[in-house]
Amino acid sequence: MGIIKTFKRKIYKFNDYFSKNLNLSNKNIIVTGANSGIGFDLVNKLNNNTNYILAFVNQKKDNIEKINGDKIKIINCDFEDVEQVKNHATELDQFNPNIIINCAASFGPKKQNFEDLDVEQFHSIFNINVLSPLLIIQKILKRNNDLKQIVNITSYMGSITLNKKGDYYYYRASKALLNSITKNLSIDLNKKNINVLCIHPGSVKTKMNPGGDISTSQSSQKIINICSENNFKYNGKFIDINKNILEW
């Protein structure tokens, strides 16, 4: 198993060696889940002296604070409590994002089988993975005319069609809801020319998935490539980082 994984990682790295690295500049960008994993890597790459970044983190900001850059504003906000998003209305009013990249998510507890389901747990995962990010988007849309893209980082585990293994109720259901809301928003925001899509970031080595196949750098670069192209072909779509359309 170890050899196969190592081999897989090498193949992915080799393929990515030839892929292009696009950039984003002169943009205002909101990134959630910005103190670790894919979100943190995104902030690192987007921190190029021309972008302004509003970085939402949970309680910890030890990693992101180490990034040098005076155009990053960090907001501590625990998404489990939706009221906390409302407390940041002023910052959201003042920041006119062109792009929102929502990475924050909790996988939830290890045990998520049917017998152990707990409604409170369900609520808290839904708050983190769906409702708090949605409140941020709602708040932005009330005042903002500069928004061009909303990218929700989802998971293939939220696909109802691709689900062959069951289990993981909280995570699967929350990502399925995020996918559904993304599709709905894409229709509602079409008249405003806002590109709304969800991206499965791949199997990425992070604290959520220590056995992941690719690095945060490989994944975040491809997310940036997709944002940089801002192709409306993907509006309302569920895609992976290689731009393959996934089934809902």
Ligand X SMILES: NC(=O)c1ccc[n+]([C@@H]2O[C@H](COP(=O)([O-])OP(=O)(O)OC[C@H]3O[C@@H](n4cnc5c(N)ncnc54)[C@H](OP(=O)(O)O)[C@@H]3O)[C@@H](O)[C@H]2O)c1
List residues binding ligand X (CB under 6 A). Answer: 33, 35-39, 57-58, 60, 78-80, 103-106, 128, 153, 155, 200-201, 203-204, 206-209, 212
- Six token digits for residue 26: 């002169």
Give me 77's structure tokens.
């906000």
Query: Shortest approach of ligand X to residue 195 CB, angstroms?
Result: 19
Q: Which residues pair with 52 in a beta bridge?
A: 28
As a residue count, the chain comes to: 248
Residue that has been written with the tokens 């289990």 in this structure: 167
Q: Which amino acid is at 21?
A: N
Nearest to residue 202, comparing CAs of 218, 224, 180? 218
Q: How many CB atoms lie within 10 A of CB 10?
A: 10
Q: Closest CB to ligand X among 162 and 190?
A: 162
- Pick 79 or 234: Cβ nearer ligand X: 79
C-alpha 133/C-alpha 60 separation (Å) is: 18
| Closest to ligand X by CB, 87 or 190 | 87
Q: How far is the CB of 44 from ligand X (least distance, A)?
A: 13
**Which residue, 39 or 97, is less far from ligand X as judged by CB?**
39
Instruction: Please state, in angstroms and rounded to a whole number, the distance separating the CA atoms of residues 43 and 47.
Output: 6
Helix or strand run (H / E) with residue 86 = helix 82-86
Over the Cα atoms of the chain, what is R_g? Answer: 17
Name the residue nearer to ligand X (CB basis): 36 or 47: 36
Q: Which residue is nearest to ligand X (CB)?
A: 37
Min CB(76)–ligand X separation in Å: 9
